[in-house]
Structure 1
């Protein structure tokens, strides 16, 4: 059992007089990612002073989802909250205690907007879910609504394929493992948005910019306001969707593992850098080069990855985003 800490969880709900969707907006799932918190607090201040009125449905704000990590001003408290996010009868760490509060809260809503930031300098981007499917990994039926909302958040870069690609890596590492053990490890890939989809809703992760970028809270604020307007939770003009020709749509299609402590990147890579077929990404401990197997962009390179863990992902241009938004 995890130790008890002098912390508490906080959510604020505003409910309109007319029926409508139940929206939840979260910030600081990672404690050093504060742009979402700032954007949420700005919107709540406008609601509280009467500048914004919630007309239809409801919105629940969680300005600080992980209060321990936020207090410590670091990514995690005792572990990464955005992995293996499920309720537990026997919580083992502080993030398990968060999950026991957060998961029922997510399940009570229809739509999640989860606001994050990232370490390297790059443009904001949105992580979207899978296509509609009846598969066992992440069955889903709201791709049209989810991707329509994504196009109205105010960003131009979109990425899909997280859980399926992560799952491919898990299955490769655990080939021959018992089904129950494999399922347990696959659960590690489930965070806020994946859990929301598992409960019948839809969800988007918006990466608002670099952690310290003064513009990131504005990106979060704009996304919140556009979401409230698009879902008709407030009376406001409908936000225009980003034009399909102005979008950058990428699909995660491959994950490469670090096999030994001596594996090293050939240089410092940043997410969304272009790579061409045959480019040397790094070298194995024995000197064998690791090369790009196709033209694409590298994503989430982890110089501190442990052996037998994800080292970097590869993306290629996605196809037919618009089939799910018209």
Structure 2
């Protein structure tokens, strides 16, 4: 690659539209992972509509960051120097490029009321939304916007919604912390209790609410349209644009609600899956998911679905997640 390609970007592009009437402060982000680009063009499309007058901002403040990690995006890969969507916080003494981005990004998040974070995933599959915890006063992720966040998750229009990210990730971190580290900063970050905190978790910690919208597989040609409609539907939900700006999601569509309950790390490069799994493939109780390097079977403790299976996971990293039907009521 040329020096121009590999040189570290020196700024973050942030676009803001300030309505003349008071209202919600919405932040829309994309390319937190550099190769997840469905939201990039969608944000640019919405900005063009606002500039041309095809879309009118009635009230509130709309902030959009089409490329949150410009280094990873320039390199066309998930990370620049590390995963920006882990251990996200202000860093008084930044150690890498993502720390420097976090120092700019976190204040924008904290200044917002609502966030829509646009992502995509490796394996083929339909789009889905991820929402946060139920209202609680616990230590892990205290929260008080369950109803508003549930309405947002329903409004974007996916047929599948997933909860339970941070609590499940915390279980994995507890087990990971018991392993001996190699002294590297990467390992230290992975064993940090804060490691599961990304954009949406940080948003909730500052008093707002949000969802992650996984717009489909990275190369899915429908991904940008999913992202575009989600932005408009969020604006309509918040009363920031007119309802006729976009067709609403079908309120009668069936929605599968799942709860993550387990994350399994890959221990060795010789750990292998039983077959080629795709996200949300059904799993029966006791079914063999994979086999460890020493021949130990990896079995599903409950029936449900496999989520984010990663054939290329490095040892010590997430290999796959497990989800089961949730008893949460969204409406």
| TM, length-normalised to structure 1 | 0.92
1:7 partner SS = coil
1:318 paired to 2:321: no
Q: Unmatched 5+ residue regions in structure 2? A: 1-5, 181-187
Residues 266 and 315, structure 2, Cα contact 8 Å, conserved in 1:
yes
Q: Deviations over 1:19-56 (max 9, x none)?
A: 11000000111111111010000010000011111111
Shift of 1:202: 0.4
Cα deviations across residues 185-221 of structure 1 (Å, max 9, x unaligned)? 1211110000000000001100111111111111000
The aligned counterpart of 1:208 is 215
Deviating above 4 A after TM superposition, structure 1's stretches of 4 or more consecutive aligned residues are 181-184, 237-242
Match of 2:49 among 40, 46, 50: 46
Which residue of structure 1 aligns with residue 71 of structure 2? 68
User: 1-side partners of 2:207 and 2:146: how far apart?
Assistant: 12
Q: Which residue of 2 aligns with 1:273?
A: 281
2:193 to 183, 186, 189: 186
Instruction: Give the count of matched residue pairs.
Output: 318
Maintained 8 Å contact 1:156/1:242? no
Shift of the alpha carbon at 1:6?
Answer: 4.3
What is the aligned partner in structure 2 of residue 290 from structure 1? 298
Match of 1:228 in 2: 235
Superposed displacement of residue 163, structure 1? 0.5
Which residues of 2 match residues 127-142 of structure 1 at below 5 A? 127-142=130-145
Report which stretch shifted further, 296-305 or 223-232: 296-305
Decide which moves more: 194-203 or 299-308: 299-308
Partners of 1:6 and 1:68 in 2: CA distance: 6
Q: 1:257 aligns with which of 262, 265, 275?
A: 265
Contact 1:10–1:62 (CA under 8 A) maintained in structure 2: yes
Structure 1 segments unaligned to the other structure (5+ residues): none
Deviations 1:89-132 (A, max 9, x none): 11111111100000001000000000111111100000100001
Query: 1:301 Cα deviation (Å)?
Result: 1.5
Q: Is the 8 A contact 2:131 2:211 kept in 1?
A: yes
Say which is worse superposed, 250-259 or 74-83, in terms of deviation.
250-259
In 2, Cα distance between the equivalents of 1:317 and 1:45? 40
Cα deviation for residue 184 of structure 1 reads: 6.4
> Secondary structure of the equivalent of 2:78?
coil
In structure 2, C-alpha distance between the alignment counterparts of 1:227 and 1:300, rounded to whole Å: 26
Structure 1: distance between partners of 2:217 and 2:189: 34
Q: Tell me, in whole angstroms, the C-alpha distance in 2 between the residues paired with 1:186 and 1:174.
A: 9
Residues 173, 191 of structure 2: 8 Å contact kept? no
TM-superposition CA deviations, 1:214-235 (whole Å, max 9, x none) = 1111100000000111100112
